[in-house]
């Protein structure tokens, strides 16, 4: 599993209440698609969506054209999935693209 530096957090298994509006994390796209990465640059926004494949839901980052740029696996994956299931929207803000690596900041869609 590939992850990044956590810059915030939601709830955990300690009985904490999950605050979806404060869930932020830096990570990289997993299994990025080279043809999509070639079009990305710092500052672009990717929408995070849950995609059903076989018997599991994967969290993927998609462009405004609906193209899957890559998947997300991070320490807060289960919390983000729960928040999306509760109706919260999340984005991946592209911070850098270098070769086949795309660094992103995961954050709530409505964060100002």
Q: Tens digits of per-residue pLDDT, 15-69?
A: 556 789 989 999 999 999 999 999 999 999 999 999 988 888 899 999 999 999 9
List the domains of the chain with CATH numbers: 35-108 (2.40.50)
Closest CA to 23 of 108, 93, 95: 108
Among all chains, which residue has been given the structure tokens 């997993």? 30
Residue 87 exposed, middle or buried by CB count within 10 Å (0-12, 13-18, 19+) = exposed
pTM above 0.85?
no
């Amino acid at each position: 599993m590939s992850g990044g530096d956590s810059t915030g957090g939601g709830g955990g298994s300690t009985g904490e209440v999950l605050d979806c509006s404060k869930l932020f994390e830096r990570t990289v796209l997993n299994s990025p698609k080279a043809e999509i990465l070639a079009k990305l640059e710092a500052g672009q926004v990717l929408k995070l969506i849950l995609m059903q494949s076989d018997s599991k839901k994967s969290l993927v980052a998609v462009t405004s054209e609906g193209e899957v740029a890559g998947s997300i696996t991070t320490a807060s994956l289960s919390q983000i999935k729960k928040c999306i299931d509760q109706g919260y929207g999340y984005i991946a803000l592209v911070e850098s693209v270098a070769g086949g690596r795309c660094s992103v900041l995961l954050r709530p869609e409505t964060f100002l």
